[in-house]
Structures are given as C-alpha cells and as structure tokens.
C-alpha cells in the first residue's frame, strides 16, 4: 500500500476543517464559562461573607462604640478575625477607627476617617449594608462588606485569591477534559479525510514513482470505482516496464563489474570530449574522487597529453596510441594510451580509451639492465685479471718460479673473489625467493657477539682495529641463529672495510619497553646523505676504490637488509662523513611474544 496519504492537500483540507470547527467550539465554551464561573464564585463568597457579617453583628451591638473602649474593641476584633478567618474593622458614627485586625491600637489616629466616603460605607448608610472589591495596601484584591450598627459601622473583608485559584483549577480541569474530545475529533477527521483523499493521492504518488523509474510501488485496489480501475491498469503497465528495466540494469552492472575488475583504465567520451564512463582504475590513476559525468578530460584529470590524444581520435576518426609520463599523488607513472573511435549505427559517437600502467614493467626493465650491467662489471674485472695472469704464465713466466708463484696467487685471489660473488648472489636470490627457512630459537646476544669477536680477532689485529662490546650478559632474543650471525658478520665486514688503522668498532645491545636493539658502530669514513638512500642497493659502494682493495662484492648490506626483513625486524643507519657510521637493528618485543 502506498503510505503517502499525509502528503495529500485534500486530506489536510478536510482534516483542518474538522479541527478548526472543534477549536472554535471549544474556545467559545471556554471563554463563556470563564467569566460566568468567576461571577458565580464571587457571588457564593459574598453570600458566605454576608452570613459571617450578620453573625458578628451581635458581638458589637452590646459594646459601646467609643474611643474610650478602643483597646477592648481592638482585642475583640482580633479575636473574631482569627476565629472567622476574615479581616474586621470597626468605626464609630463619626468615622473614627476603633478596631482593625490588620493594625495595632497604638497606631490608630484619633481623627475622623474619610472611610465614611467610601462606596461600601455609603451603601451601608443608605441600605444598611454596602460592598466593594478593591486592593488592600499590599495590592491584593479583597471583597469588603460594611454593615451599619446602632452607633457605628462593622466592615469585614476577605481576599479574592481563593476565587481566582478555584477558577483556575476548574478551567484547567475543563481544558484537560477538552483534550480527549479534540483527540477524538482529530481521529474522526483523519479517518474521513484519509478515506476521501487516499485513492487520488495513491494514483498521484504511483505516477510520481513511475516517472522516477521506481517500479516497486503498486496501487492497491480498495473498490470498484473508476479511480481504482485506473490504478489497476497502471499496475500492469508498471510491471512490464519494471521487467525491461531490470534486464537493462543487470546488463549495466555486468559491464561495470567487468570494467572495474580490469587492471587497465577504461575511459569513454562523447564527440565533444566529455566523459561518459570511467572505470575505477582510471579514477585511481588520477586520484580523482569527484563526479566526472559530462566533464572534459582536462577538467577532471588535468592531463593535457591524454586530452590531446582523445581529441586527435575525434578529429581523425582513427585509432591512436601514445606513451606518456603522468604525475600522480604517489609519484610518476608511465602509461600507454590506446584511443579508438566509438562507432554506432549512425556513425562516430565518441571515443574509447584504454590506459595501461607500465610503471612496474619499466621499473623492472630498468632494474634488470642495471643488474646485468653491475654483474657483468663485477664478473669482468676478476676474469680479465685471471686471463691476463694466465696469458703471462703461458708466455714464459712459468720459467721464473718467483713470478709464477706471484701470478698464481693473483689468479687464486681473483678466483676467490668470483666465488664469493657467486655465493652472495645465490644467497641473496634464495633470501628474496623465501627459499631459506627461518628457524627461530632463544639466542643469547652476548654469546653470539663473543664468538664473532673471536673469529675476527686475527683480522682485526692485522688491520690495526679494535673491537669493543657492551652487551648485557643475560640479554636474549628470538632469532634464526644463522641469519643473526650473517647479519652481524656482514655489518662487521662493512665496518672494517671503511675504518682506517687505529679506528674503533663498537658492538652494543640493549632494550626498552618495545624493542631489543643491536648496534654496530665504527669510526670510519662515514656516509654522505646522498649515499645513505642507496647503501642497501646491490653492488652500491660508498668508496669504490677502498672496496676493490678489500675485495668486497657490493652485496653485503643488501643481504643484511633482506635478512633483517625476513626476521620481521627493522634496520636504521646514522652516519656523518669523517666521523663514522652506526647501523642499528631493532627487534620488536611483539615478535618475542608471538614466539612464546
């Protein structure tokens, strides 16, 4: 059922008519009863006060109303006022105040009061009893009744607050009693208004939904009149349109899914170069998050090369391919753009562009060329030396035992260097391909460093270097022993290569709340800032001449980086030219907890 009755203007007109009539009726009753009730309450109070006044009359007829009896009269007035809960005043015939429940006798003024000119006293003089409603000295409205006595006047009064309060209570209760009546009126009006306006409003709402392409709303027949029959016909038409739309949406979703699952970016434009469709890959390439519909490529993606490529295809009607360099939020990307005209039965309707990201391919190609060049260079140097020495021996140097021994030593040295290079390459390849198993056990760091120090003692001595250690005896960590030793050995080799005779190498270790750290620090030549970014690359050397002397392969630090990563650790370098370098390994405690 279409729940849109409350949007109908007819519904609200009928309902407001019912409510308006009810409110006018209730208001009329309310405003009529308010003054009538007040008058009735004041009349009841006046009758009650009159009875009290006549009752008090006898108490003052037996007393001589003179100024000599003022104290007696005032005490009597106070007594009767408290007993009857009314204000009482007594005056003699000349208007002198003889007693008053609101004043002390000491404050009375011995003069003729002008009270006799008040309305209630004039009424009492003419008709024996007078009355008036007026505020007292505190501003509270009182009802006063005055009775003429034999030799004076008796006046009593009471505040009208009780009347007004009673009126408020009654009117409030009356107002509350009107609420259910108003509620019933609203319910009745709602029912009648809804019954009369619902069929028409349902048809209007159904037509509105169909115009917006919403076919899941139907008209529910509630009778056999013309309006309900019309609604049933519209239902049949809506179901037919809905079937066709579902098929169209399904085909569009399939197309969108295929486009968004592609690794290439796909862009469709019209003949004006305005974007009709762009898959998610295109939006990601250009880091575009806005609405692209009916906007130009240049406006959305800010790439003139792509824009020009598409315009040329529109102008020529021929496919076009280009390689371009794009600036993106994450850096430069190399892409290939293939644009072709979009043809329909009536002719060209725009262009289809496929954008392929070849950044990784280009990067791998560059890396491959650099690697081949580096390996070729590293292999060529010792091979050339070996060949040269072999040719020298073959040319007659074998006849000289001393020369032959020296040349054979050179050949052996270069062959060893070749062997080390090949072994390092194989090891690095195995680490990168994750073929080397990682077997972590509890390792005492001080014990590993102590063995390492013993292994390098002769080499350190021959180079004039000293190795200092500062490691707590009980400091342990979870690590693959072979990988840990290889990391420290390569770092120590690196430190020895770049530290001159008389230098100091320090291996320290410690821990804090989050990590255990191991540091290999030297007093060598140091590393410049521009070299720091590349020291872990294959075959990269800070001082190539020194490395050649020491016979390094240029792969030691690259192996260190990959071994550290395989353990789930981190490594950082701090260095200053002419001062030295500090390689520090960080072992997170969470890895220890995972092992436990």
191-204: pLDDT as tens digits: 776 766 677 777 77
pLDDT at residue 547 is higher than 60:
no
With a pLDDT cut of 70, the percent of the chain lying above it is 79
Domain with CATH 3.30.450.20 in the chain: 1-212, 262-357
363-377, 484-498, 533-547: which is most confident: 484-498
Please tell me the least confidently modeled range out of 224-238, 307-321, 362-376, 435-449. 362-376
Domain with CATH 1.10.287.130 in the chain: 362-429
Largest Cα–Cα distance in the chain?
Answer: 175
CB 205 within 8 A of CB 231: no
Strands 275-278 and 87-92: unpaired
Average pLDDT over residues 87-109: 71
pLDDT of residue 419: 65
Mean pLDDT across the chain: 77
CB 149 within 8 A of CB 54: no
Class of domain 362-429: mainly alpha
pLDDT at residue 586 is higher than 90:
yes
CB 445 within 8 A of CB 509: yes
229-243, 318-332, 470-484: which is most confident: 470-484
Class of domain 1-212: alpha beta
Cα torsion 383, 388, 391, 396: sign: negative
For residue 50, the SS3 value is helix
Q: How far apart are CA 183 and CA 276, in angstroms?
A: 56
Q: How far apart are CA 356 and CA 267, in angstroms?
A: 12
Which uninterrupted H or E stretch holds 259? helix 226-260
Q: Which two tokens stand for residue 293?
A: 């519909």
Q: How far apart are CA 564 and CA 560, in angstroms?
A: 6
Class of domain 437-595: alpha beta
CB 470 within 8 A of CB 434: no
Q: Is 404 left (phi over 0), alpha (psi -120 to 50) or beta?
A: alpha
Average pLDDT over residues 49-74: 78
Question: Which pLDDT tens digit goes with each residue over 347-357?
Answer: 777 899 888 88
Sequence-distant (≥ 6) Cβ neighbours of residue 123 within 8 angstroms = 129, 130, 131, 132, 146
For residue 576, the SS3 value is strand
pLDDT at residue 395 is higher than 50:
yes
pLDDT band at 428, cuts 50/70/90? low
Q: How far apart are CA 212 and CA 245, in angstroms?
A: 12
Domain with CATH 3.30.565.10 in the chain: 437-595
Q: How far apart are CA 33 and CA 10, in angstroms?
A: 35
In the 3-class helix/strand/coil scheme, how is 153-194 assigned residue by residue?
EEEEEEECHHHHHHHHHHHHHHHHHHHHHHHHHHHHHHHHHH
Rg (CA), the chain: 55
pLDDT of residue 118: 65
Cα distances (Å, whole numbers) of residue 463 to 33, 212, 456: 119, 87, 11
Average pLDDT over residues 397-403: 74
pLDDT of residue 433: 56
Q: How many Å separate Cα 536 from the centre of its chain?
A: 40
Q: Which two tokens stand for residue 269?
A: 């434009």
| More confident of the two residues 546 and 130 | 130
Backbone phi, psi, residue 215, to 5°: -105, 5
Burial class of 509 by CB neighbour count within 10 A (0 to 12, 13 to 18, 19+): buried
pLDDT of residue 583: 92
Backbone phi, psi, residue 552, to 5°: -75, 155
With a pLDDT cut of 90, the percent of the chain lying above it is 3
pLDDT at residue 274 is higher than 80:
yes
Q: Which two tokens stand for residue 575?
A: 């260095």
In the 3-class helix/strand/coil scheme, how is 457-517 assigned residue by residue?
HHHHHHHCCEEEEECCCCCEEEEEHHHHHHHHHHHHHHHHHCCCCCCEEEEEEEECCCEEE
Strands 504-511 and 466-470: parallel
The angle, 0 to 180 degrees and rounded to 10, between the axes of the packed helices 226-260 and 161-211 is 70
| More confident of the two residues 20 and 120 | 20
CB 438 within 8 A of CB 595: no
Question: Which pLDDT tens digit goes with each residue over 121-134?
Answer: 776 666 667 777 77
Sequence-distant (≥ 6) Cβ neighbours of residue 315 within 8 angstroms = none
pTM of full prediction above 0.85: no
Strands 440-444 and 476-480: antiparallel
pLDDT of residue 277: 86
For residue 434, the SS3 value is coil
Q: For domain 262-357, which architecture applies? A: 2-Layer Sandwich (3.30)
Question: Which pLDDT tens digit goes with each residue over 481-516?
Answer: 888 888 888 888 888 888 888 899 999 999 888 899
For residue 310, the SS3 value is helix
Which uninterrupted H or E stretch holds 565? helix 556-566
pLDDT of residue 2: 43
Backbone phi, psi, residue 20, to 5°: -65, -45
pLDDT band at 110, cuts 50/70/90? very low
Question: Which pLDDT tens digit goes with each residue over 14-46?
Answer: 677 777 877 787 777 777 777 777 777 778 777
Which residue reads 């239902």 in tokens? 235
Backbone phi, psi, residue 297, to 5°: -60, -40
pLDDT of residue 551: 52
Question: Which pLDDT tens digit goes with each residue over 139-178?
Answer: 777 778 787 887 788 888 878 777 777 777 777 777 777 7
Q: How far apart are CA 267 and CA 284, in angstroms?
A: 12
Closest of 86, 79, 113, 80 to residue 98, by C-alpha: 113
Average pLDDT over residues 434-441: 68
CB 296 within 8 A of CB 274: yes
CB 480 within 8 A of CB 439: yes
């Amino acid at each position: 059922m279409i729940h849109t009755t409350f949007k109908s203007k007819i519904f609200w007109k009928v309902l407001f008519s019912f409510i308006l009539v009810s409110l006018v009726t209730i208001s009329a009753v309310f405003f009529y009863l308010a003054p009538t009730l007040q008058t009735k309450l004041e009349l009841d109070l006046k009758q009650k006060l009159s009875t009290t006044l006549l009752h008090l009359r006898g108490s003052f007829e037996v007393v001589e109303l003179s100024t000599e009896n003022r104290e007696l009269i005032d005490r009597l007035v106070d007594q009767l006022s408290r007993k009857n809960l009314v204000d009482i005043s007594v005056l003699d015939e000349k208007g002198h105040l003889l007693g008053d429940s609101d004043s002390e006798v000491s404050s009375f003024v011995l003069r003729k009061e002008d009270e006799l000119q008040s309305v209630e006293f004039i009424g009492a003089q003419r008709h024996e009893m007078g009355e008036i409603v007026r505020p007292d000295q505190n501003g509270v409205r009182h009802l006063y009744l005055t009775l003429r006595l034999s030799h004076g006047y008796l006046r009593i009064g009471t505040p009208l607050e009780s009347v007004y309060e009673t009126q408020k209570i009654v009117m409030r209760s009356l107002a509350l009693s009107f609420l259910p009546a108003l509620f019933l009126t609203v319910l009745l009006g709602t029912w009648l208004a809804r019954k009369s306006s619902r069929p028409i409003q349902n048809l209007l709402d159904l037509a509105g939904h169909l115009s917006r392409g919403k076919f899941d709303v139907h008209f529910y027949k509630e009778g056999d009149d013309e309006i309900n029959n019309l609604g049933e016909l519209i239902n049949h038409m809506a179901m037919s349109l809905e079937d066709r739309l579902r098929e169209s949406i399904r085909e569009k979703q399939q197309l969108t899914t295929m486009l968004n699952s592609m690794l290439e970016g796909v862009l469709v434009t019209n003949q004006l170069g305005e974007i009709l469709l762009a898959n998610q890959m295109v939006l990601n390439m250009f880091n575009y998050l806005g609405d692209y519909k009916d906007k130009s490529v240049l406006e959305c993606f800010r790439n003139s090369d792509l824009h020009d490529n598409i315009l040329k295809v529109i102008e020529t009607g021929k496919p076009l391919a280009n390689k371009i360099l794009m600036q993106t939020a994450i850096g430069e990307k190399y892409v290939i753009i293939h644009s072709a005209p979009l043809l329909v039965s009536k002719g060209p309707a725009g262009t289809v562009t496929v954008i392929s990201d070849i950044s990784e391919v280009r990067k791998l190609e560059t890396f491959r060329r650099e690697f081949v060049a580096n390996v070729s260079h590293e292999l060529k140097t010792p091979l050339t030396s070996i060949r040269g020495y072999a040719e020298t021996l073959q040319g007659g140097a074998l006849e000289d035992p001393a020369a032959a021994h020296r040349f054979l030593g050179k050949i052996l040295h270069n062959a060893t260097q070749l062997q080390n290079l090949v072994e390092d390459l194989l090891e690095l390849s195995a680490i990168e391909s994750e073929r080397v198993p990682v077997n972590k056990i509890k390792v005492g760091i001080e014990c590993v460093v102590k063995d390492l120090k013993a292994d390098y003692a002769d080499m350190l001595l021959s180079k004039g270097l000293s190795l200092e250690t500062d490691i707590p005896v009980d400091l342990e960590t979870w690590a693959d022993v072979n990988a840990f030793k290889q990391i420290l050995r390569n770092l120590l080799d690196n430190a020895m290569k770049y530290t001159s005779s008389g230098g100091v190498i320090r291996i320290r270790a410690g821990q804090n709340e989050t990590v255990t750290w191991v540091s290999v620090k030297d007093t060598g030549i140091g590393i410049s800032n521009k070299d720091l970014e590349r020291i872990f690359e294959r075959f990269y050397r800070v001082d190539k001449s020194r490395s050649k002397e020491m016979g390094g392969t240029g792969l030691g630090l690259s192996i260190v980086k990959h071994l550290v990563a395989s353990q789930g650790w981190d490594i950082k370098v701090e260095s200053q030219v002419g001062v030295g370098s500090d390689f520090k390994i960080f072992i997170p405690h969470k890895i220890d907890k995972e092992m436990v």
